Amino acid sequence: MIDIKFLRENPDVVKQNIKNKFQFEKLPLVDEVIELDKKNRAYIVEGDELRASRNKLSKQIGALMGQGKKDEAEAVKAQVSANAERLAELEKLEDECAEQIRSIMMRIPNIIDPSVPIGKDDSENVEITRFGEPKVPDFEIPYHTDILEALDGIDLDSARRVAGNGFYYLTGDIARLHSAVLTYARDFMIDRGFTYCVPPFMIRSNVVTGVMSFAEMDAMMYKIEGEDLYLIGTSEHSMIGRFIDQILPEVQLPLTLTSYSPCFRKEKGAHGIEERGIYRIHQFEKQEMIVVCKPEDSMMWFDKLWQNTVDLFRTLDIPVRTLECCSGDLADLKVKSLDVEAWSPRQKKYFEVGSCSNLGDAQARRLKIRVKGEGKTYLPHTLNNTVVAPPRMLIAFIENNLNEDGSVNIPEVLRPYMGGKSKITK
């Protein structure tokens, strides 16, 4: 959510930003906000005048009564009463207008960074860097669920009977590998100076609307029936929500946190053939990283965050590349975003395994997170990035470490978390 003062003074900039995001249907919202803002400020001015008048008239009543001018005092009292009724009406109108403005402002996209490439959708994202040599073995790589089933590592049929499509059982060494990757990712981030957290896995509606757009909320979140609670789609939600309505001492910045959580997502829409199995699912686990920092430091932290993910995948010998998300592929709160994609030897292409986002002060503004600096209070910037998100990440892992006999090699860095095993076999 952008600053109303900025919109008021720069409506053309806000409109151009909407055009850059190809959300032309939202252009009228800017003029609606401007008109509502004018009304609201008029209500505030009239209200302030009535409050000042009330104090003045109250003094007049006392003076008139002291002079024995009862009739004149009663007339002034009647004026005070009428003013009070109008003031109550104005206060109600102010509240209604402010709520309308907030509702519309939450639909207007954040101002994207000038470095973001302009494009309609993810097909126009721009490759930035590649790390590692993509390889295709000289033997056929089966679909990932076939590999996992051959290793007695997955049971999708039972999961469908228990919970429906989009769920899974991981078993044996594959389940252990899943946990090993998460534990390794946790320790990797701790070694990089991040504080480890396990957050709540449910959050209230005011936190949900503070951390994401309405469109994301509708597409992702599961609501708990009869409760003001939602299952988190990523631990970023509850990690940033931790600071709601807080004033943070500037000396505490930057806050660098890494968090583990299960994640729950509706995953609405059609799913292609490559999104079967454990690629697009309703429940998974993830290690996340978030940063709360000074505005002037946010782009520096953005580069550090995505580099952490790339470095982790490189320790696992998985080739990756980074893509700069174009304007049309950015969620409304994001200032800048970059996807990390891993190489799939079976598909002979890359696929997304993580996303790094700079949200500027949008989440802080919505959640009323402030920082107390020297002589001023300001809104911090918030950033988030996926460290690793199995089981999707396991697809890249098993394909890049698969042997012709169906066994899967365990990279050296993971062996301590796998009881010293160097290979998973049938």
Residue 169's identity, in one-letter code, is Y
Residue 307 in any domain: the answer is yes
Which of 56, 71, 105 is where one domain is finished? 105
Least confident of 88-92, 150-154, 180-184, 254-258: 88-92
**What distance in Å separates the CA atoms of residue 209 and residue 103, rounded to the nearest whole number?**
11
Cα→Cα distances 126→132, 340, 358, Å: 18, 12, 17
* 342: its two tokens: 């891993």
Say how many domains are in the chain.
Answer: 2
pTM assigned to the model: 0.88
Q: Give residue-wise pLDDT tens across range 164-173.
A: 988 999 999 9
Mean pLDDT of the region 329-345: 96
* Measured distance CA(236)–CA(367) in Å, rounded: 13
For the segment 283-310, what is each residue's pLDDT rounded down to a tens digit?
999 999 999 999 999 999 999 999 999 9
Separation between Cα atoms, residue 236 and residue 239, nearest integer Å: 5
Residues 368, 245 contacting (CB under 8 angstroms): yes
Q: pLDDT at residue 134 above 90?
A: yes
Q: Say whether both 195 and 326 belong to one domain.
A: yes
Is 116 inside a domain boundary? no
Q: Which of 118-132, 206-220, 268-282 has the lowest mean pLDDT?
A: 268-282
What is the spatial distance between Cα 208 and Cα 226, in angstroms, rounded to a whole number?
A: 16
Confidence of residue 245 (pLDDT cuts 50, 70, 90): very high
CATH number, domain with residue 188: 3.30.930.10
Q: How far is CA 67 from CA 57, 165, 180, 228, 231, in A?
A: 15, 85, 88, 59, 68
pLDDT at 148: 95
Same domain? For 86 and 126 the reply is no
pLDDT tens for 368-411 read 999 999 889 999 999 999 999 998 899 999 999 999 999 999 99
The CATH number assigned to the domain holding 22 equals 1.10.287.40
Q: DSSP letter for 243, please.
A: T
Task: Check residue 269 and give its pLDDT.
Answer: 54
Question: Tokens for 426?
Answer: 């049938």
Whether residue 313 has pLDDT greater than 90:
yes
Residue 238 near residue 201, CB atoms below 8 Å: yes
Structure letter (DSSP) for residue 367:
H
**CA gap 199, 262 in Å, rounded:** 10
How many angstroms separate the CA atoms of 208 and 230, rounded? 8
Side chain identity at residue 358, one-letter code: N
91-101 average pLDDT score: 91
Question: Which amino acid makes up residue 378?
Answer: Y
Q: Provide the phi-psi class of 230: left if phi over 0, else alpha when psi is between -120 and 50, else beta.
A: beta
Q: Which domain holds residue 49?
A: 4-105
Q: Is 66's pLDDT higher than 70?
A: no
Residue 190 lies in a domain: yes
In a domain, 343, yes or no: yes
HSE-up of residue 175 (Cα within 13 Å, Cβ side): 9
Q: What is the mean pLDDT of the chain?
A: 91
pLDDT band with cut points at 50, 70 and 90 for residue 109 = very high
Domain boundary residue, one of 48, 75, 105 = 105
Q: What is the mean pLDDT of residues 123-134?
A: 95
Find which of 56-70, 262-276, 314-328 is predicted with most confidence, using mean pLDDT: 314-328
Question: Does residue 315 share a domain with residue 204?
Answer: yes
Same domain, 186 and 59: no
Give mean pLDDT, residues 104-115: 95
What average pLDDT score do residues 108-112 get? 96
pLDDT band at residue 27 using 50, 70 and 90 as cut-offs: very high
Q: How many CB atoms lie within 10 A of CB 254?
A: 17
- Per the CB < 8 A criterion, the answer to whether 302 and 273 are in contact is no
User: Above 50 in pLDDT, residue 270?
Assistant: no
H helices of 10-26, in order, are 11-20
Tokens of 383: 């950033």
Same domain, 98 and 134: no
Alpha-carbon gap, residue 405 to 394, rounded angstroms: 18
Residue-level pLDDT at 267 = 79
Same domain, 97 and 142: no
For residue 11, say if its preceding peptide bond is cis, omega within 30 degrees of 0.
no
**Same domain membership, residue 134 and residue 101:** no
- Tell me the pLDDT band of 46, cut-offs 50, 70 and 90: confident
- Do 159 and 211 belong to one domain? yes
pLDDT of residue 67 exceeding 70 = no
The answer to whether 182 and 388 are in contact (CB under 8 A) is: yes
Q: What is the mean pLDDT of residues 123-149?
A: 94
Residue 113, domain member (yes or no): no
Q: How confident is the model at residue 220 (pLDDT cuts 50, 70, 90)?
A: confident
Q: Is residue 114 part of a domain?
A: no
H-helix or E-strand containing 381? strand 381-388
Asked if residue 152 and residue 74 are part of one domain, the reply reads no
Any idea of the CA torsion for 96, 97, 102, 108, to the nearest 10 degrees?
Answer: 140
